[in-house]
Amino acid sequence: MKKVLLVVGIRPNFMKGAPLFRELKKTRGIKPILVHTGQHYDYKMSKSFFKALDLPDPDYNLDARSGTHSEQTAKIMLKIEKVFQKERPDMVVLFGDGNTTLAAALAAKKMHFLTAHVEAGLRSFDEEMPEEINRRLTDNISDLLFTPSVDGNKNLKKEGVNSNKILMVGNIMIDSLMEGLKTVTKKEKKILNDYKLTKKSYGLLTLHRPSNVDDKGKLKKIVNGLELVSKRLPLVLPLHPRTKKNLEMYRIKIKGNITITKPLGYIEFVTLMKNARFVLTDSGGIQEETTYLNVPCLTLRDNTERPVTITHGTNKLTNPGNMLKDVDRVLKRKQTVRKNIPLWDGKTAKRISKVFANKLV
């Protein structure tokens, strides 16, 4: 049996890893091994996602937890090196752009193991983003680069990557989303009732990126802008632990018609996202999910590594000064039905597993 070791550590990793793990379990000659670095360890941001995505308990939980970027990356490298020494994997699979991804990539390559990067080629071209550094370095040293869209291929080729390494397979996040929507259909009414919401009567908000929440002045401007937006439509904010900590530290209070909740489980969140009038976010993956769901998205950032969502017409960059104006445009605009982006069809994990079967078995 060929060992394929899947490394996850944060919420988006779980959503990308789950469909591939399930597909590899069905692939003859391959034994998938699941490693959770413990970068996200809060129950709602970790264990509940394993349950919702039908993932088993990981074969290894490294319990790396928080720290500075260097501390966290170093801890994961030290811990995962021991797993690599024990398992001697035939392939190490990395997802997205968190510290988990870079740490595992570096450790694997220094030990001469083959690596594959799922969601390769995405670029924001903003080197102040830690994620941009992580994904560039991971792409640079990985042996197989699975891209979600055409722009990923173009970026890698411009950087001089050998085209034999690049395979456009589609967006694996959509695999999990499509599977999750089956459960949402059964629980939708109850979840909306639990939060006293009706379809398209509210906006959904997520806020966690350091560039938005670590600076007191920036965070205060965002909160003030959200208060104005909430006069147009009620907002629901599942509060990220980092944002909660900074709001308390800076003594900033969120006012207005904004319902604050704890971090939500996957099915709860997808339900609220699917039925929102719009989503205001600084997350990367949510830009993709809203695109598939055809829910208007306003991204509270200066740039995005997912420009395909903007050219597709479902996403727009915004900032605290333009937030209210952009929300007004969304509320006035008639929604149009758009075709799905090519290969965002729920079959990405199947395509990747076939590559591994051909290469390894």
Which positions are catalytic? 208
Torsion angle of the four alpha carbons 51, 298, 214, 284, in this order, in degrees rounded to the nearest 10: 40
Length of the chain in residues, anyone? 361
The arrangement of strands across the sheet holding 166-168 comes to 60-61, 30-36, 2-8, 91-95, 115-118, 144-147, 166-168
Q: Which long-range contacts (CB under 8 A, 24 or more apart) does 313-322 make?
A: 313/338, 314/290, 314/338, 315/287, 315/290, 315/291, 318/280, 320/218, 320/221, 320/222, 320/224, 320/225, 321/221, 321/225
CB 143 within 8 A of CB 116: yes
